[in-house]
Amino acid sequence: MKANQLTHASFFSGIGGFELGFRRAKLNTVYLCEKNVFCQSILKQHWREVPCAEDINEVEAANVPPAVVWTGGFPCQDVSLARMGERQGLKGQQSGLFYRFAELVGAVLPKVVLIENVHGLLHSHRGRDFAIVLQTLDRLGYGVAWRVLNSKDFGIPQSRRRVFIVGVLGDADCAGQILFEPERSQGDSPKGGSSEEEPTSLFQKIVGNPRKGPLTKAMAHCIYAESARHTGTDWSRNYVWYPEGKVRRLTITEVERVQGFPDDWTLPKSFKGNPDRLESLRYHAVGNSVTPQVAEWIGRRIVSVKRRILSL
């Protein structure tokens, strides 16, 4: 491995949204960590040679390969606005794994830390949970920038707003350069789009054959994995219909496409369980994932300041 190569260690890896985007941006993933057994199987199909830890609580910092960039999309269940009832925030069993991730970061101090979560993190416990995340990185010595990015601004037919937090060790200006573009000039990276709330009219455009079908919205609502209102994907808002009255939810292939993954990305080479269970597992995994195109954009922004990062 080249000494000046940007390497990547991934925690809460899911089905590899960050990893796929980073691979396209020329970052090399050297470590994975994912507890979900089904997601592990998908990761091992696409990154056969990369070690994959099963539980972040059992990870020892000394065993994580050297990596310039660490990513951690810690579980969103306890901070998500889609959750029914009171949100536990960072006190919750799932989202509270942020503290374990921060502990490992503190032990290693990688040059760049990238955190992703639902935009509900901004409001959880009236903003206190978000403040804890920022303060934790600050205490560890990271200069921090954050931004809400929407998948629809990266060529994906889904309005999916997520907050991304970048910490660069001792360099807040560099963190800002990664997430925010200067005034456009020739040679700049593509713009990351707006963080604004989307108007209702965005979802009113219909595509398809009006006589024969199928018909669907040109822009999908955010695909969730944890909402109590559905199983697999929020198909009460995302669905396909036909002029004669038939309505169906998006197929798993359609959901993969709406989330920006290649067809059959989540199709395991072997599965011994119930086929119906497999479909549910695939829906759930895609709904929990990071849009690869957004990860690629951030990855390219990291590459653009590569010399500065490696000099830290």
What radius of gyration do the chain's Cα atoms show?
19
Q: What angle do CA 122, 103, 89 make, to 5 degrees?
A: 30
Catalytic residue (one of 33, 39, 52, 76): 76
> How many Å apart are CA 90 and CA 247, to the nearest integer?
39
Rounded Cα distance, 256 and 245, in Å? 25
Distance (Å, rounded) from C-alpha 13 to C-alpha 110? Answer: 17
Angle, CA of 227, 97 and 169, to the nearest 5°: 120
Q: How far is CA 243 from CA 5, 121, 240, 255, in A?
A: 54, 40, 10, 22
Angle formed at CA 150 by CA 236 and CA 186, multiple of 5 degrees: 150
Please say whether the beta carbons of 27 and 8 come within 8 A: yes
> Across the strands, what pairs with 115?
72, 165
Is 52 annotated as catalytic? no
Per DSSP, the three-state class of 20 is helix
Contact 265, 42 (CB under 8 A): yes
Rounded to a whole number, what is the distance in angstroms from the first to the last CA of the chain? 19
Burial of 28 (0-12, 13-18, 19+ CB in 10 A): middle
Ranges of H-type helices in 60-127: 98-108
- Positions marked active-site: 76
